[in-house]
Amino acid sequence: MSTQIRNLAIAGHAGAGKTTLAEGIAFAAGATTRRGTIQESNTISDYHPDETARKHSINTSLISLNSLNTKLNILDTPGYADFTGEVRAALHVADTAMIVVDAQHGVEAGTAQVWDYSEHDQNSIIFIANKLDHVEADFDSVVDNLKSRFGHEVAVVQFPVNPGEGFDAIVDVMKMKLMRFTPDGKYTEEEIPENVRAQADELHKQLVEIVAESDDKLMEEYFANDGTLDESHFAGGIHESLAHRKLFPVLCASGEKNIGARRIMEFLVTNAPAPEDHLADVKGINPDTKKEVSLNNAPKDATTLFVFKTVSEPHLGDLSFFRVFHGELHSGTDLINESNGKSERIAQLYVMCGKNRKEASSVACGDIAAAVKLKDTHTNNTLSSRSFPVVLHPIEFPAPIITSAVAVKNKGDDEKMAIGLHSLHEEDPTFLVRHDPEVHQILIEGQGELHLDIGIKRLKERYKVDVEIVEPRIAFRETIKSNADTRYRHKKQSGGAGQFGEVAIKLQPRRRGEGYEFIDAIVGGVVSNKHIPAVDKGIHDFLTHGPLAGYPVVDVAVTLYDGKEHPVDSNENAFKTAGKMAFKEAFLSAKPILLEPIYDLEIAVPGDHMGDVLGDISSRRGKITGMDSRNGFEIVRAQVPLAELYHYSTRLRSLTQGRATHKQSFSHYEEAPREFADKVVQEHAKHKVAELE
User: What's the angle, vertex CA 682, arms to CA 681 and CA 688, rounded to 5?
Assistant: 90
Q: For the domain 282-392, what is the CATH code?
A: 2.40.30.10
Q: Is CATH 3.40.718.10 the classification given to domain 595-675?
A: no
Q: Is the pLDDT of residue 493 over 80?
A: no
What pLDDT, on a 0 to 100 scale, did the predictor assign at position 36? Answer: 80
- Write down the pLDDT at residue 39: 79
For 360, counting Cβ atoms within 10 Å of its Cβ (0-12 exposed, 13-18 middle, 19+ buried), the class is buried
Tens of pLDDT, residues 37-74: 777 778 888 877 777 778 788 889 999 999 999 999 99
Report helix angle 216-224 to 231-243, nearest 10.
150
Range ranked top by mean pLDDT from 26-35, 217-226, 235-244 = 235-244
The arithmetic mean of pLDDT across residues 210-238, rounded, is 90
Give the Cα separation of 568 and 566 in Å (integer).
Answer: 5
Q: Binning pLDDT at 50, 70 and 90, where does residue 1 land?
A: very low
Question: 428 pLDDT band (50/70/90 cuts)?
Answer: very high
CA–CA gap between residue 248 and residue 222 (Å, rounded): 20
pLDDT tops 90 at residue 375: no
Residues of the chain with CATH 3.30.230.10: 478-590
**Cα dihedral sign, 360-361-365-371:** positive
Pick the CATH number of 5-280 from 3.90.1640.10, 3.90.1150.10, 3.40.50.300, 3.40.190.10: 3.40.50.300
The DSSP result for 12-27, as a single string, is ESTTS-HHHHHHHHHH
Q: How far apart are CA 197 and CA 237, in angstroms?
A: 24
Please choose, from the candidates 488, 473, 476, 465, the residue with its C-alpha nearest in 3D space to the C-alpha of residue 441.
473
Instruction: Give CATH for domain 478-590.
Output: 3.30.230.10
- Ranges of beta strands (E only) in 215-372 are 248-252, 283-285, 292-294, 304-313, 317-326, 329-330, 333-337, 342-346, 349-353, 356-360, 362-363, 368-372
Residue 394 near residue 30, CB atoms below 8 Å: no
| 444 pLDDT tier (thresholds 50, 70, 90) | very high
What is the rounded distance in angstroms from the CA atom of residue 638 to the CA atom of residue 153?
33
**In this predicted model, what pLDDT tens digit does every residue of 502-559 receive, in sequence order?**
999 999 999 999 999 999 999 989 999 999 999 999 999 889 999 999 999 999 999 9
Kindly state the helix (H) or strand (E) to which residue 128 belongs, with its residue range: strand 124-130
CA distances from 226 to 221, 222, 234, 247 (A): 9, 6, 14, 21
Residue partners of 231: CB distance under 8 A and separation at least 6: none
Name beta bridge partners: 443.
Answer: 405, 434
| Angle CA 571–572–574, to nearest 5 | 70
Residues 6+ apart with CB under 8 A from 164: 132, 133, 134, 135, 137
**Residue whose C-alpha is closest to residue 152's, from 286, 48, 245:** 245
pLDDT score of 495: 64
Tell me, what's the pLDDT at 568?
83
Q: What number of residues does the chain have?
A: 693
Question: What residues does CATH 2.40.30.10 cover in the chain?
Answer: 282-392
pLDDT at 2 over 60: no
Q: Do the beta carbons of residue 586 and residue 485 sit within 8 Å?
A: yes
Instruction: Please write the tens of the pLDDT for every residue from 604-622.
Output: 998 889 999 999 999 999 9
Q: At what angle do helices 231-243 and 261-271 cross, to 10 degrees?
A: 90
The dihedral formed by the CA atoms of 631, 637, 642 and 648, expressed in degrees to the nearest 10: -40
- Delimit the CATH 3.30.70.240 region(s) of the chain: 595-675
Q: State in Å, rounded, how far the first CA of the chain is from the last one.
A: 72
The CATH T-level fold of domain 402-470 is Alpha-Beta Plaits (3.30.70)
Average per-residue pLDDT in the chain? Answer: 92
> Concatenated DSSP letters for 268-287?
HHHHSPPGGGGGGG-EEE-T
Cβ-Cβ contacts under 8 Å for 40 (sequence gap 6 or more): none
CA gap 170, 687 in Å, rounded: 69
Each residue of 282-294: pLDDT tens digit? 899 999 999 999 9
For residues 126-138, average pLDDT: 97
Q: What pLDDT, on the 0 to 100 scale, is given for residue 3?
A: 65
Q: Looking at the predicted structure, is the pLDDT value of residue 692 above 70?
A: no
Residue span(s) of the chain under CATH 3.30.70.870 come to 402-470
**Least confident among 169-178, 202-211, 305-314, 319-328:** 305-314
- Model confidence at 160, pLDDT cuts 50, 70, 90, reads very high
Q: Residues spanned by CATH 3.40.50.300 within the chain?
A: 5-280
